[in-house]
Amino acid sequence: MDSRMNLVLGLDLGTTSVKAVILHPETYEVLHACSQDTNADVTSDIGPLGSEQDVVKIMKAAEKCVQNLDHENLKKVSLIGVSGQMHGCMLWKEKPWMKNGRGEIELIEAKYSRLYTWQDSRCTQEFLTSLPVPESHLRIATGHGCASMFWLQKHCPEYVESFDRAGTVMDFVVSALCDLDHPVMSVQTAASWGYFDTRKNEWNLERLLSAGFPTHLLPEVKYPGCIAGHLETSWLGLVPVRTQVSAAMGDLPCSVLPSLENPTDAVINIGTSAQVVTRAPKGFAPPTSKAASSVEYFPFFEGRYLKVAAALNGGNAIAAFIDMLHEWMSALGCHVTKDSMYDKAISAAMQVGKTDLVINPTLLGERHQPDLRASVSNIMTNNVSLGHVMRAMCCGVITNLHNMLPRESLVEDGVTRIVGCGSALVRNKILQEELERIFGLSVVYKEGGNAAVGAALGMILYHENNEST
């Protein structure tokens, strides 16, 4: 271990919250952790199916999260590992940031766009089929960065032309922290954008150029954990100047990294979305076919791949149900907080051991079945209570995952144990019960297996493997 390495700050910019941890680089002990909701969702003003977020709110949540960590330990940080929500994209011009006297990052209006998230549904199948076929083992789907930029280029070209850089929101934050002239992106997030060949580690520039894509906006791509730059000044007056910052990594591989302890483990992560993940063996090369399969292979660490069934519908589907209940209750003149409503729904479902109500909660469709919609069936007078509906919602989330990568396939791959993680799963006892019942394998739960921890670990891993070069 490099003697100059003191502590590592892990930062994850998620879809609904920002998480930060301080990690000891030798013991991997989490010395302090913090989470902060972003409340960043904004109504789209370009297309009715958009999913957009306010970048300022994400930045402020990140800084508040870091400020809530132990200040003395922050002063000992020498590395910052960054991860965040994959697939999404944003655009900016020149350097739309500055640090104020308190070391906080302030953004200059009109020089950056909103974040177009992975949940963006503007790219219809008709639109996607009009795009060039990627030279990649990964398909292109709505919500993927390159697809969103193709859509913006078609529907508001003048807007796109007003920017000269693009990246994910975590690439933007890394650029602002390090005052980079041009953004850098990890292989993990580049693959999630589409039109990136992970075997050659390069963008499909010719295919993109031939279709009129603004390729000059694309970031430079680096390996996960690689250094993107360093702090030019102290961040928040706490994190030291010259602290090295990673190229931002994907939240999926980072959330899995702390949890995949054994080759016979599978990870089921349920946060805003949901995934079933196993680690492909060393030397594995992903198949070139892009058939409409529910399973894909994403870059992990050290040149390896993850076998992933990634569902768009996870905790967000349950949150949508709670939002609906909250709206109904408010319309009826009853005022109950969403958190209280969630807890009461869980409690009611605990009283219902099993339900014959069937809910398919695929509100966002799925990438391999984009036209899939949510449905409710087998409705009877005796199964429409809050407990039955909440139980059926949780069962539906797990059933959807099982349909994408069933128990039989896991067993064929040698899986004997499931590691359950993610904020929605760890918080929700009903999801846990349905997971254990439907998958029928041994399950352990890891509350600490979040992407902020993985971002710190990913940077340590890269640092250890390359310190001699």
With contact defined as beta carbons under 8 Å apart, do 291 and 305 qualify? no
Residue 306 sits in the same domain as residue 188: no
The CA-CA-CA angle for residues 171, 60, 339, to 5°, reads: 110
Q: SS3 letters for the chain?
A: CCCCCCEEEEEEECCCEEEEEEECCCCCCEEEEEEEECCCEECCCCCCCCCEECHHHHHHHHHHHHHCCCHHHHCCEEEEEEEECCCCEEEECCCCEEECCCCCEEECCCCECCEECCCCCCCCHHHHHCCCCCCCCCCCCCCCHHHHHHHHHHHCHHHHHCCCEEECHHHHHHHHHHCCCCCEEEHHHHHHHCCEECCCCEECHHHHHHCCCCHHHCCEEECCCCEEEECCCCECCCECCCCEEECCEEHHHHHHCCCCCCCCEEEEEECCCEEEEEECCCCCCCCCCCCCCCCEEEECCCCCEEEEEEECCCHHHHHHHHHHHHHHHHHCCCCCCHHHHHHHHHHHHHCCCCCCCEEECCCCCECCECCCCCEEECCCCCCCCHHHHHHHHHHHHHHHHHHHCCHHHHHHCCCCEEEEECHHHHHCHHHHHHHHHHHCCEEEECCCCCHHHHHHHHHHHHHHHHCCC
Q: Is residue 1 part of a domain?
A: no
pLDDT at residue 291, rounded to an integer: 64
Residue 302 sits in the same domain as residue 210: no
Residue 61 sits in the same domain as residue 163: yes
pLDDT at residue 423, rounded to an integer: 86
Residue 158 sits in the same domain as residue 172: yes
Residue 43 sits in the same domain as residue 81: yes
Read off the pTM.
0.87
Q: How far apart are CA 163 and CA 225, in angstroms?
A: 27
The rounded average pLDDT for each run of 10 residues, N- to C-terminus, in the chain (469 residues) is: 71 96 94 95 82 97 97 96 96 95 93 95 92 93 96 95 97 97 96 95 96 96 95 96 96 89 91 93 82 87 92 95 96 94 96 96 89 94 97 98 96 95 92 98 82 94 71
Residue 306 sits in the same domain as residue 427: yes
Q: How many CA atoms lie within 13 A of 137 on its CB side?
A: 15
Give the model confidence (pLDDT) of 27-65 as tens digits: 999 999 999 999 999 998 776 789 999 999 999 999 999
pLDDT at residue 462, rounded to an integer: 86
| CA distance to 352, 398, 430, 432, per residue, from 345 (Å) | 11, 17, 10, 15
Q: Is residue 370 part of a domain?
A: yes
225 Rama class: left (phi>0) / alpha (psi -120 to 50) / beta: left
Residue 297 sits in the same domain as residue 225: no
pLDDT at residue 47, rounded to an integer: 67
pLDDT at residue 2, rounded to an integer: 46
Q: How far apart are CA 292 and CA 270, in angstroms?
A: 23
pLDDT at residue 154, rounded to an integer: 94
228, 232, 234, 239: CA torsion to nearest 10 = 20
pLDDT at residue 3, rounded to an integer: 40
Q: Is residue 2 part of a domain?
A: no
Q: How far apart are CA 383 and CA 367, in angstroms?
A: 31
Domain that holds residue 50: 7-253+451-466
Q: Is residue 382 part of a domain?
A: yes
What's the domain count of the chain? 2
pLDDT at residue 80, rounded to an integer: 97
pLDDT at residue 469, rounded to an integer: 42
Residue 37 sits in the same domain as residue 99: yes
Residue 228 sits in the same domain as residue 117: yes
List residues bridging with 84 in a β-sheet: 13, 250
Q: How far apart are CA 265 and CA 419, in angstroms?
A: 7
Residue 123 sits in the same domain as residue 228: yes
Give the model confidence (pLDDT) of 255-301 as tens digits: 889 888 888 999 999 989 999 999 998 889 888 766 668 999 999 99
Residue 224 sits in the same domain as residue 153: yes
Q: Which CATH number is 168's domain given? A: 3.30.420.40
pLDDT at residue 422, rounded to an integer: 86
